[in-house]
Chain A
């Protein structure tokens, strides 16, 4: 790989290091144990990578074939505005996920899995750093009154609850969340990075290859433990059950789907050459990839439980259980993972606040739907503020006090003014502030 590396100016670099002392305090431990867990892997470096030798021409949209932009002030103002929003959103997600992972990192059962997540967090820090590099290297005054310093300060001051995208405002309840988040939410990240690799803004495109390389490991950080847990569950281990994983999938997949933006949008980004796919197309590809992932995990479960089966026999059992919903050789649908329906538990986009169950069934009665959600979601999540807010807003929609579109737009963001309690690692929600979530202004266009 041919790339150049660079550091952001010293005062911002120091600010990121200072930020990591609070939210990634174990980074020194990671570096100390690097050789043990990642022998022969290049040692971690906090810097920005810019790939060399990438395509010079705009690869999609109305300007296809023209030279890529190297400065934002050469772009059309609306185009630059969309780009800036995307960079800020990307930066927010990178720093935001570290804050989420830190909450439950210490609860991992296996040291190896813990260090995988720790490495992933360190690389997310680098990804956030990469976005700060983009913000600081260019002049954004055409589309923003904020200075680079203000933008960096704003991003580094965000906490869980004030991040731009919804998935990064939900607390983790256990290490199962660390793992399932990597498998599902980082997978959305992979799509976003892949799409941004063809960005009409060359510095953005050049930033993506190294981030994508690192993201491949982040997905494995989620998927590998899930496969191992499924095998252990098949052998009777009760530490992480299939039901635990299912509930975490139900918690995160709807938020992952919403990260693509409204299903009707994305055309503006395509037209401006910032991304090659509209929201619905990327979302559908992502959903099908999750279907494939869950099928693989189910196959691991079946073959661990009935080790005498051949591949073909195991595949037949899986198909039969999924088709008939009846147990086959002692394996029933409740033993296996299921991908919730694409419209399940949505609060953004076309299906927002429709009462759709995990199987795609529509509920007419709010109580019955809430009972269904209660059976489908982790209890720790249901007892949190995020779910409470959803339930209250759903009530207004059902009572006709609020239109679904308005509810989707007005979902209050949760602000945590007191931050994380360092001794207990618990979360204290101190107040809330309602604001229109501008998270999807980029991707919903």
Chain B
């Protein structure tokens, strides 16, 4: 088995991403991923990358470049969705995907990169810390509207 190639996401990767998500989450949700991919294809297709190992997608990372979020006027790279095949973990695939995206954001003129991390998801915070991310003073607040009805 060789080393995975990092390349730009293609429309024909949808089936592989749906399958990968199903492997990770146990849920088959093609429409969700179709909407996501279609969104990114319209916005910033070069900011979405996959790890391709002998023709099989073993990881993906999607995001985009945007400005004006939460009063942050400067153009910012956002890493929003990622997944790595459990069978391919330990091969630095997540790191290589992130490095490719960071290079794209840099080349596109972004001065910073942001993401939101679910603290309940094991290892994600550590993953971004290892990449050089640190906790931002901007923190996420949420409210359950059903509970406050």
Chain B 14-30 per-residue mask, 1 if CB under 8 angstroms from chain A, else 0: 11000100110000101
- B44: chain A residues within 8 A (beta carbon): 213
Q: How far is the CA of A209 from the CA of B10 in the complex (A)?
A: 15
- B42: chain A residues within 8 A (beta carbon): 38, 41, 217, 220
Closest B residue to A307 by beta carbon equals B28
With A2-B108, A41-B43, A292-B12 already in contact, the answer to whether A311 and B19 are too (CB < 8 A) is yes
Q: Which of B12, B28, B37, B108 has the most CB atoms of chain A within a 10 A radius of its CB?
A: B12
Q: For chain B, what secondary structure do more than half of its interface residues adopt (helix, strand, loop), or is it mixed?
A: helix
A-B contact pairs, 24 of them (CB 8 A): A1-B109, A2-B107, A40-B43, A53-B107, A212-B45, A216-B41, A217-B45, A219-B11, A220-B37, A220-B41, A220-B42, A223-B11, A223-B14, A224-B38, A227-B34, A289-B10, A289-B12, A292-B12, A295-B15, A296-B14, A300-B15, A311-B19, A311-B23, A311-B28
Contact B46 A227 (CB under 8 A): no
Min distance, Cβ A226 to any Cβ of chain B, angstroms: 11
Chain A 1-14 per-residue mask, 1 if CB under 8 angstroms from chain B, else 0: 11000000000000
Chain A 214-250 per-residue mask, 1 if CB under 8 angstroms from chain B, else 0: 0011011001100100000000000000000000000
Chain B 72-96 per-residue mask, 1 if CB under 8 angstroms from chain A, else 0: 0000000000000000000000000
- B28: chain A residues within 8 A (beta carbon): 303, 311
Contact A220 B19 (CB under 8 A): no
The residue from B14, B22, B37, B46 contacting A311, defined by CB atoms under 8 A apart: B22
- A212: chain B residues within 8 A (beta carbon): 45
Contact B34 A224 (CB under 8 A): yes
A residues in contact (CB < 8 Å) with B: 1-2, 38, 40-41, 53, 209, 212-213, 216-217, 219-220, 223-224, 227, 289, 292-293, 295-296, 299-300, 303, 311
Q: How far is the CA of A82 from the CA of B29 in the complex (A)?
A: 47
Closest B residue to A291 by beta carbon equals B12
Chain B 103-130 per-residue mask, 1 if CB under 8 angstroms from chain A, else 0: 0000111000000000000000000000
- A292: chain B residues within 8 A (beta carbon): 12, 15
- B41: chain A residues within 8 A (beta carbon): 216-217, 219-220
Closest A residue to B37 by beta carbon equals A220
Q: For chain A, what secondary structure do more than half of its interface residues adopt (helix, strand, loop), or is it mixed?
A: helix
The residue from B15, B38, B43, B108 contacting A296, defined by CB atoms under 8 A apart: B15
Q: How far is the CA of A438 from the CA of B65 in the complex (A)?
A: 42
- B34: chain A residues within 8 A (beta carbon): 224, 227
Min distance, Cβ B96 to any Cβ of chain A, angstroms: 22
Q: How far is the CA of A40 from the CA of B78 in the complex (A)?
A: 15
Q: How far is the CA of A2 from the CA of B107 in the complex (A)?
A: 8
- A295: chain B residues within 8 A (beta carbon): 15
With A227-B30, A311-B19 already in contact, the answer to whether A220 and B12 are too (CB < 8 A) is no
Q: How far is the CA of A212 from the CA of B9 in the complex (A)?
A: 13
Q: How far is the CA of A303 from the CA of B14 in the complex (A)?
A: 15
Min distance, Cβ B30 to any Cβ of chain A, angstroms: 6
- A216: chain B residues within 8 A (beta carbon): 11, 41, 45
Closest B residue to A289 by beta carbon equals B12
Q: How far is the CA of A300 from the CA of B28 in the complex (A)?
A: 11
- A296: chain B residues within 8 A (beta carbon): 12, 14-15
Contact B45 A213 (CB under 8 A): yes
- Known: A216-B41, A219-B11, A300-B15; 4 extra A-B contacts, CB below 8 A, are A2-B107, A213-B45, A220-B11, A289-B12
Contact A299 B108 (CB under 8 A): no
The 8 closest A-B pairs by CB, nearest first: A296-B15, A216-B45, A216-B41, A219-B11, A292-B12, A217-B41, A293-B12, A217-B42
- A217: chain B residues within 8 A (beta carbon): 38, 41-42, 45
Q: How far is the CA of A209 from the CA of B44 in the complex (A)?
A: 11
- B37: chain A residues within 8 A (beta carbon): 220
- A220: chain B residues within 8 A (beta carbon): 11, 37-38, 41-42
Closest A residue to B19 by beta carbon equals A311
Contact A2 B12 (CB under 8 A): no
Closest B residue to A38 by beta carbon equals B42
- B65: chain A residues within 8 A (beta carbon): 1
Closest A residue to B65 by beta carbon equals A1
Q: How far is the CA of A219 from the CA of B8 in the complex (A)?
A: 14
- B30: chain A residues within 8 A (beta carbon): 227, 300, 303
Min distance, Cβ B49 to any Cβ of chain A, angstroms: 13
Min distance, Cβ A322 to any Cβ of chain B, angstroms: 15
Min distance, Cβ A335 to any Cβ of chain B, angstroms: 18
Min distance, Cβ A42 to any Cβ of chain B, angstroms: 9
Closest B residue to A292 by beta carbon equals B12
Q: How far is the CA of A216 from the CA of B43 in the complex (A)?
A: 10
Q: How far is the CA of A303 from the CA of B22 in the complex (A)?
A: 13
Q: How far is the CA of A295 from the CA of B18 in the complex (A)?
A: 14
Min distance, Cβ B134 to any Cβ of chain A, angstroms: 27
Min distance, Cβ A34 to any Cβ of chain B, angstroms: 12
- B107: chain A residues within 8 A (beta carbon): 2, 53
Q: How far is the CA of A295 from the CA of B143 in the complex (A)?
A: 42
Min distance, Cβ B76 to any Cβ of chain A, angstroms: 14
Min distance, Cβ A329 to any Cβ of chain B, angstroms: 17
Min distance, Cβ A336 to any Cβ of chain B, angstroms: 14
Closest A residue to B20 by beta carbon equals A311
Closest A residue to B46 by beta carbon equals A213
Closest A residue to B64 by beta carbon equals A40
- B109: chain A residues within 8 A (beta carbon): 1-2
Min distance, Cβ B64 to any Cβ of chain A, angstroms: 10
- B14: chain A residues within 8 A (beta carbon): 223, 227, 296
